[in-house]
A and B are shown apart, each in its own frame.
Chain A
Amino acid sequence: MRRTWRQRFLTTTILGAGLFGLAASPAFAQRNPERNAYFGQTHQHTSWSLDAYIIGNTLAGPEDAYKYAIGQPIRHPAGYMIKIGRPLDFEGVTDHSEYAGMMSLANDPSSPISKLPIAQKLKAKTQQEINKVFQYLAASIAKQQPIKELTDPKVAGTVWQQNNAIADKYNKPGKFTTFCAYEWTSMPNNQNMHRNVFFKDCAKVPVAPFSALDSDKAEDLWAWMNDQRKAGNEVLAISHNANLSNGLMFPVDVDGKGRPIDSAWARERLANEPLTEIKQVKGTSETHPDLSPNDEFANFEIMNYLIGIDNSSAKLIGGYARQAYLDGLAMQDARGYNPYKFGFVGAGDSHNTAANFTQSNYFGDHGLMDATPQSRLAGRIESGMNILETGTSGLGGVWAEENTRASIFEAMQRKETFGTSGVRIKVRLFGGWEYQPEMLKQKDWVKVAYAGGVPMGGDLPAVKGKAPSFIVQAVKDPEDGNLDRIQIVKGWTKNGQTFEKIYDVAWSGGRKIDPATGKLPPVGNTVDILNATYKNTIGAVELKQVWTDPDFDPALQAVYYARVLQIPTPRWSTYDAKKLGVLPPSNVASTIQERAWTSPIWYTPSETARATASRGLTVAELKQRGAMALDEAQLKEFALGKTLKVRNTVTGKNFDILYGADGRRVVTEVADKAPSAAQSFEVMHNGVTGSTATYIIRDGQLVTTIDKTPFAVTVYKLDDKYFGARSNEFGYVNYEVEEPKIAN
């Protein structure tokens, strides 16, 4: 009873506060139910981040970051003035918590904890004093009144609290939104597992953030975030640089603590990490050319190293968003949960207090290391980072009713977001079952789109037709290149195997898809590399389309997201070369096709629909029928030095694999032909290029290692038939293997 009363009381108070808030601020009460695109920065370091400080950013703190974001000029660490071209709509400064955290407090003579009056109250030596302290604390807990001294953001002296006070100072609802935020800097063995933590409301943030010194396990961060949420403090995390995580960011088998991934883990991840950065100054995490060899636009601002280690490289598998989406579908299908239903933002990670979003006006990201065109083009590699490969800040886009903390945070939570490579392309995607092409002619098509489906970040509603249709619209950045095309990237899964296909759905000019290749011809190129100029004489201002999936199978899990490409424009390195009067560096692209990515829309078949699919054989079923796995000796006898004729029962493709006596395995034939570069990756080891790889026979498995990730095949014998099951196909047996012949 009492609890109910309390809840009611709280509700009334909150409602009252809400009404008061609205009454006090009529100026920005222009909520747009069809939502506006707001652009912002969710990843910004200042001199308060210790690493930024070390590389020369010693003066400009969070206050300067917000000043820069709203259009005031500030000083670059190298001393020159910088000003943003167009102000941002929102920003959260995300200095490393390991500065504001426990360790630095303990280190700091002006430590707030020791100076807080509350600390005096908590000091107790005798039993009697302990009882008193207890009484004091107990009363506060019983009344559910947090001890203000511990939570009051105004308590002076700590970096974290000052950070939050500054965020509050610059938060102007309706004009510019700031967030209380920080970066959790987990980097086990130089593998980037960082997350930016965003709080919905600065009034409720904890006295200190949960830092990587507390734990470098994401699972512990989530547990802490759950506690925050229980205490009424809404919070979310944005992961970044999956590309530099060495494959740790998106695991499928084992979590950060070495435990098998399960539905509870998936739930935690979904609840706490709705977003990831798809592009930032240290590269793109959408996909890698080796993971998506059929995607001719996959080679975009790729970086591959381990932060802090020269001449290092990171594993690809587990480090890219697109593959995580595909794996998530397969996990949903085989295990009943999908931890990887996250959306996109683009962001910066500049350590200069200011980030630069345009190629033509680039001023570096890392203090004094890349402050001048000379230093950027010198070909320097700093702590493993190739400066030439770094780039402009990505940009986060949200579709929100108004420019306020609540509205933008909620958009982030529901993943109605998009990421760009830095340009202000506005893109939106809706999915439904009854969208008609004519509706785009209506002025109010957005309203119809919301009414008839879901915006990006959502799940398709229950099936109501043969195939889902998607509305996608992109509008160019008014101060940058025109648009080349919109693509829909589709992923799906069958029997533990995953597939991707890219559809060109809207494009500029009168181009036609080549029937031979199925590809849309390139948009052209107006870039004058020597003069670092381009012309908007090609490309479109706006592209939009209602697209229906022509290959839809209602029985299979699927995911869809849109990618928008600009026409080619000069890359920052080309502009720098022009400034110096030298040729652009030859080891990075001289032009760039800037782009935007929407958060996906997912399709999950109903149980009835799933039942109609032709289910593959599983290892469990095979064993039940009496199949035996070949042991080590049998496997050697079976495969070593032999060419195996293999049929992928999911795709129906046949191929030959030679397991050479020299420890290398080569795909020699696909469907009676020599394999193309694109095909060679698809067989037995879906997802990685190179038909040649090393393998060993170990523990009764053929273990092939590609790009540092091992894939194991177990061969089963049932009667006189052989079957292969791959370790990353979620318990399915997808390969029929013919009795091998001796290789020549």
Chain B
Amino acid sequence: MDRSTRGTAERSDSVSDATLVTQPSIVRRLANEPLLHFLVVGLILFVVYDRLHPDLEAKSESNRIVLTPADFEQLGVTWLAQGRAPPTPAEMQSLIELKVREEVLYREALALGLDKNDTIVKRRLAQKMEFLAEGASIDSDPSTDMLRAWFKDNPQRFSLPPRVSFRHVYFSPDQHGERSREAAAKAMEQLAGRPGDFQDAAALGDPFMDRDYYGDRSAEDMAKLFGSNFAREVAGLKPGRWHGPIESGYGWHLVFIDTSVPSRVPDFEEIEPEIKAEWIEDQRAQAKRKAYETMRARYQVVTPERAKN
């Protein structure tokens, strides 16, 4: 096998030389190239397999499993496509045996009618059909006008959540136990009417393990950080004054909203690529639905009630 590989590699060298004259050193590397090895190994195996299994011819048509050079290549390409070293002759042989085994069992199963009334087979085929329906050709290049019109009809799909920037003073149950809220309420008396950047604000509370100021956060961001109750409460606060005490998953807070940006739908120009992506998505969903409806229309469903009539 070794010798034949080398022989072919040498023959091929002349071809490479013609095209890659500027990089002669590469030619030698190519002699070690996996793809070449595979092609050669595959070809040889095909010949060997053919010789070893001449009796295939004798079998009836339905019992014939014909493996073409293309099948061999496909096995090898699939193998190589996984980024692996080329199959050794033994590996190639076992790939072939796997393929044959599968084909044999598959045909025997068909002959016994095992595909009928098998839930898994049914689901698998149904799933494949879903995939096919999804791949249905759709227009992927809508005009700007078309997108604009669609955007106008579906603004809710693109609305941005409200966002707030806020600072807070924290009162920790680790420090105050059950009197944390009380401590916060007391501090609130001193903070009421003060500006957000009031110098002594931080000293009124406890050190917080994360930040004291959070810029531009959505309710979702705040829920991740503080828990959803806090997020809900803070989202509804008016900017420009201290609020609280407000409870989070960590304890109690006094909160000053710097800025609050309400929910809005961006301008078309800001998010045109997103609108296009969403539109394609929508087309695909619709195409899928229509494809199913078309198929569905060809069927009459008989339920027990109707069957009686």
Contact = CB atoms under 8 A, between A and B. Distances in A.
A123 interface: yes
Interface in A112-156: 113-114, 119, 122-125, 130-131, 133-135, 137-139, 141-142, 150, 156
A214 B82 contact: yes
A500 B135 CA distance: 57
A206 B135 contact: no
B128 A135 contact: no
A138 B16 contact: yes
Contacts of B209: 473, 475, 542
Contacts of B251: 541
A536 to B, nearest CB: 8
A214 B251 CA distance: 54
B7 to A, nearest CB: 12
Interface stretch (B52-60, B69-77, B144-152, B232-240): B69-77
B12 interface: yes
B283 interface: no
B220 interface: yes
A329 interface: no
A473 B12 CA distance: 64
Given A130-B43, A131-B15, A479 B227 contact: yes
B36 interface: yes
Contact of B250 (A71, A150, A537, A541): A541
B309 interface: no
A156 B82 contact: no
B228 A541 contact: no
B249 A478 contact: yes
A478 B227 contact: yes
A142 B77 contact: no
Contact of A125 (B30, B69, B85, B172): B69
Nearest to B230: A478
Interface residues of A, number: 64
Contacts of A208: 78, 81-82
A86 interface: yes
A523 interface: no
A53 interface: yes
B82 A207 contact: yes
A106 interface: yes
Interface string A150-166: 10000011000010000
Contacts of B186: none
B249 A476 contact: yes
Interface in B220-254: 220, 223-228, 230, 248-251
B127 interface: yes
A209 interface: yes
B81 A206 contact: yes
B39 A130 contact: yes
Nearest to A162: B131
Interface in B158-184: 172-174, 178
Give the interface centre of A138, A162, A476, A540 by most chain B CB atoms within 10 Å.
Answer: A138
A91 to B, nearest CB: 15
B73 to A, nearest CB: 6
B177 to A, nearest CB: 9
A240 B48 CA distance: 43
B124 interface: yes
A227 B83 contact: yes
A224 B249 contact: no
Nearest to B30: A138
A536 B226 CA distance: 16
A228 to B, nearest CB: 6
Contacts of B295: none
Interface in A473-521: 473, 475-480, 508
B132 interface: yes
B78 A106 contact: yes
A231 interface: yes
Contacts of B3: none
B266 to A, nearest CB: 13
A47 interface: yes
Interface stretch (B19-27, B107-115, B298-306): B19-27
A113 B83 contact: no
A156 B138 CA distance: 14
B120 to A, nearest CB: 6
B76 to A, nearest CB: 9
A479 B249 contact: yes
A119 B77 contact: yes
Contacts of B30: 138, 141-142
A85 B223 CA distance: 9
Interface in A202-242: 206-210, 213-214, 224, 227-228, 231, 233
B172 A542 contact: yes
Given A123-B70, A478-B250, A542-B174, A113 B78 contact: yes
A87 interface: yes
Interface in A1-23: 2
B35 interface: yes
Interface string A438-454: 00000100000000000
A445 B279 CA distance: 49
Nearest to A132: B15
A667 B261 CA distance: 73
B83 A231 contact: yes
Nearest to A140: B35
A536 B252 CA distance: 14
Give the interface centre of B15, B20, B23, B249 by most chain A CB atoms within 10 Å.
Answer: B249
B116 interface: no
27 contacts: A2-B23, A53-B120, A53-B124, A86-B224, A110-B132, A113-B77, A119-B73, A123-B70, A124-B73, A125-B69, A134-B39, A137-B33, A138-B19, A142-B29, A208-B81, A210-B82, A224-B82, A227-B85, A443-B207, A475-B250, A477-B249, A478-B230, A479-B228, A540-B173, A541-B172, A541-B174, A542-B209
Given A58-B123, A87-B220, 5 more contacts: A114-B74, A124-B39, A134-B15, A227-B85, A480-B249
Give 10 closest A-B pairs by Cβ, nearest first: A478-B249, A478-B227, A207-B81, A206-B83, A137-B35, A479-B227, A142-B26, A541-B250, A131-B15, A208-B82
